[in-house]
A and B are shown apart, each in its own frame.
Chain A
Amino acid sequence: DTGVSQDPRHKITKRGQNVTFRCDPISEHNRLYWYRQTLGQGPEFLTYFQNEAQLEKSRLLSDRFSAERPKGSFSTLEIQRTEQGDSAMYLCASSSRGATEAFFGQGTRLTVV
Chain B
Amino acid sequence: GENVEQHPSTLSVQEGDSAVIKCTYSDSASNYFPWYKQELGKRPQLIIDIRSNVGEKKDQRIAVTLNKTAKHFSLHITETQPEDSAVYFCAASTGGNNRLAFGKGNQVVVIP
Contacts and interface: CB of A to CB of B under 8 A. Distances in A.
Q: Do A and B come from one complex?
A: yes
Interface in B26-73: 32, 34, 36, 42-46, 49, 51
Given A48-B97, A55-B97, A56-B97, A100 B104 contact: no
A103 B34 CA distance: 11
Interface residues of A, number: 24
A48 B42 contact: no
Nearest to B36: A104
Contacts of A70: none
Q: What band does the interface of chain B fall in when counting residues whose beta carbon is under 8 Å from A?
A: 20 to 34
Nearest to A9: B41
B95 interface: yes
Given A31-B98, A55-B97, A56-B97, A41 B44 contact: no
B105 A42 contact: yes
Contacts of B25: none
Given A100-B32, A100-B93, A101-B34, A43 B100 contact: yes
A102 interface: yes
A6 B32 CA distance: 26
A100 B98 contact: yes
B105 A40 contact: yes
A42 B98 contact: no
A23 B62 CA distance: 31
B44 A48 contact: no
Contact of B46 (A40, A102, A105): A102
B44 A40 contact: no
28 contacts: A31-B97, A31-B98, A40-B104, A40-B105, A41-B105, A42-B4, A42-B104, A42-B105, A43-B100, A43-B102, A44-B102, A45-B99, A45-B100, A45-B101, A50-B97, A56-B97, A91-B43, A91-B44, A100-B34, A100-B49, A100-B98, A101-B34, A101-B46, A101-B49, A103-B46, A104-B36, A105-B43, A106-B43
